[in-house]
Amino acid sequence: MYLESLRLNNFKNFSFFEQDFSSINCIVGNNGVGKTNILDAVYYLSFSKSFHSNNDLNTMKYGEDFFAVFGTYVDGNQAREHYSCSQKKGEKKKFFRNKNPYKRLSEHIGKIPCVIISPFDYMLITGSSEYRRRFMDIVLSQTDNVYLENLTLYNRSLQQKNKLLKFMQQNQYFDTLQLDIWNGRLVEYAQIIQEKRYKFFESFQSYFQFFYDFISDKKETPFVKYKTYEGNLSEKMLENAEKEKILGYTLSGIHRDDLLFFLDGHNVQEIGSQGQQKTFILAMKLAQYSFLKEQKGHSPLLLLDDIFDKFDFMRVEKILDLVSGDDFGQIFLTDTHLSRVEQIIPQSKKDKSTIIRL
């Protein structure tokens, strides 16, 4: 899938923006002019939400009462697809494919696979388990509709159970029957999600190993471990019932899953050097890209946000050499220095690149 053109109305800092794209697209300008916001708009058309915020009001230009994003894509058969998303204050968000509205936004996820590499990725190492679960969910939701459906149902059920626990806690009244109903649903959805996460990491490890070796010249042996609950979830919920009544939230389930990162058997999150952690992050994201490509049968869009300032030149040069090859598809990158961008684009790709100055 290839993004041919993009148009924005009242999106972030842009009252209006319109641009045609090529294979390699370099968005150059000073900090604060909106380079990342253009990448976020491309991301928005893939996921129907911003990469940086779950609140769509933050996507709307300050002082305006609506925003809209329009994208024209070309598929492998050279057929054009038109996608658009818009929202007015006080109304529901609307998403269209060729002017036909989606009944549910989840129907769109996976239509335009996309991977973003940004400074925010460092939260994979330093952040809470929420960021690492988000990594899994973004990959699997784009490739597996059953996973996305069960994840949505699980999160809704978890929210309802926690609301019930809070209500019962405040009123000192506990309806065991209602809690059992929500627990039953959580167990049903969790089993499917857990199995799919296990299966994903069985195949993901080989992609990750390849890219880590490529970036690090095989200096260490990396490993990613999927950490989840063990045993019977129904029994765990029964064991935790009294604690949950006191605390007012659910203690066991796939919403507490995590990823552990190792190099030569040592935990990267605890003792990895800054360089090792950066290499780990890049390998994770490039592995995400390759996994999506194989599952979808075509190359995802690749968004590279401010990687020149966050990663050393050697790593960036290796990445650009890799992703500008025939195995990768359309690329969008941002930087503050035009000369650095011009230097890094391979000579063979000069005629297929576009530099956008903001």
Instruction: Spell out the CATH class of 1-113+298-358.
Output: alpha beta
- Identify the pLDDT of residue 10: 97
pLDDT at 89 over 70: yes
For the chain, what are the domain ranges?
A: 1-113+298-358, 122-297
Do the beta carbons of residue 290 and residue 103 sit within 8 Å?
A: no
- Identify the pLDDT of residue 314: 65
For the ranges 77-86, 166-175, 245-254, 308-317, the lowest mean pLDDT is seen at 308-317
pLDDT at 257 over 90: yes
Dist CA 93 CA 149 (whole Å): 19
Q: Can you identify the CATH homologous superfamily of domain 122-297?
A: RecF/RecN/SMC, N-terminal domain (1.20.1050.90)
Q: What is the mean pLDDT of residues 168-191?
A: 90
> Average pLDDT over the chain, rounded to whole?
90
- Identify the pLDDT of residue 278: 86
- Identify the pLDDT of residue 310: 67
Confidence of residue 343 (pLDDT cuts 50, 70, 90): confident
